[in-house]
Amino acid sequence: MARITFAKTVHHVSFLDAKEDDSRKSLSFEIRKDFLTGQVSRVLPFRRRIPEMKWDEGQLEASRKDCPFCPEKLPTVTPRFVPEMASEGRIRKGEAWLFPNAFPYARHSWVVVLCRDHFLHLDQFSIDILRDGFAVAQEGMERVERTEPHFRYGSINWNYLPQSGAGLFHPHLQIVIEDVPTVSHQRVMEGLRRYEGQCGALFWEDYVAEEKRIGERYLGNCGKIHFLIAFSPAGILGEILVLFSDRSSIKELTVTDWEDLAQGLNRVFRFFKTTHIGSFNLSIFSGNNEGARSWVYGRLCPRIVIPPWGTSDINYFERLHDEVICVIPPEEMFKNLKPYFADRECKSTSIC
């Protein structure tokens, strides 16, 4: 019998619509609560229009001039690691470069420049570019663990384009490693410990099995990596969960795992491109957990600005009330994204 529940309540609001001769109008919304962390989301299914993303080509071109991540400047203007961390100064795999963040906000705060190109559209990120970028981040994290094993809580993060909070157009990741988890990571670990203590089982295993049984949000898998739509999403356009089965720490991931992740992300990116979604936030958390088993997991949220004034998609509910406004029901996002995980290429890597 399933131990996991998906709690939601539906509420109805009535008003007189001046646009329709004061006729009585009723709209509904849902309040959802995440079983593991208690994250609350308010799903508003009546606000669905996603604006087409428009580029300011002048701004993009101007940003090339002083970009520190372009290959002609990177070797001379970006920071270098201290010798005890990396005697070579910067760590490289393929086109990807890893080096310290010039504006650190953690005791280990780094940047990975993904490629030579100053700008890539979502459908231009190759498997090689993504694999090497994540792999070089992993190598740096492994070096820290060998010398400072108490720095166990690491994450690989990606702000893609200014709509997501990125300060530069040039594609790059940001790595954070501390000896304590961030707040959201801590909530997940507490939930995992609570579940295993009460049920004697690994939450992620039961969660994937239950989502497969329900069939409303489980997208599919590439290799050992599962992709799902979050029941109680953390973003205005929803949230995609990425679960690395049988991998308890980022250091356990293989080259094949990174390639499988890249394949899954490319499927998501193709979907984004067809639905006018041009920006996102991604975080991959090491599963290190004291007192309970865990998996490496990732969270991906699409980002937009709202026309006509370029309004942020984050407002007081998210920032000050710790609740999320979501305008696309997760099950609707699932129906639209699922076909991208159903072709022959995806099935060829399936472990199901």
Look at residue 322 in the predicted model and tell me its pLDDT.
94
For 155, the token pair is 């994450």
Cα separations (Å) of 323 from 77, 94, 142, 317? 40, 41, 35, 5
Residue ranges of domains in the chain, CATH in brackets:
57-348 (3.30.428.10)
Q: Exposure of 320 by Cβ count < 10 A (0-12 exposed, 13-18 middle, 19+ buried)?
A: exposed
Indicate the residue type of 91. Answer: I
Residues 287, 296 contacting (CB under 8 angstroms): yes
**Chain segment 203-225, per-residue pLDDT in tens:** 999 999 999 999 999 999 999 99
**Confidence (pLDDT) at 350:** 36
pTM recorded for the entire structure? 0.94
DSSP 51: P
Read off the tokens for 172. Answer: 């790059």
Mean pLDDT estimate for the chain: 92
Give me the pLDDT at residue 49, please: 67
Q: CB burial class (10 A; 0-12, 13-18, 19+) of residue 214? A: middle
Contact criterion met (CB below 8 Å) for 37 and 22: no
What is the 8-class DSSP label of residue 277?
A: -
pLDDT given at position 45: 80
Within the chain, which residues score under 70 in pLDDT? 1-2, 46-49, 51, 54-55, 343-352
Segment (H or E) for 130: helix 127-147
- Report the candidate in 332, 329, 328, 302 with the shortest Cα–Cα distance to residue 314: 302
Integer Rg of the chain from CA = 21
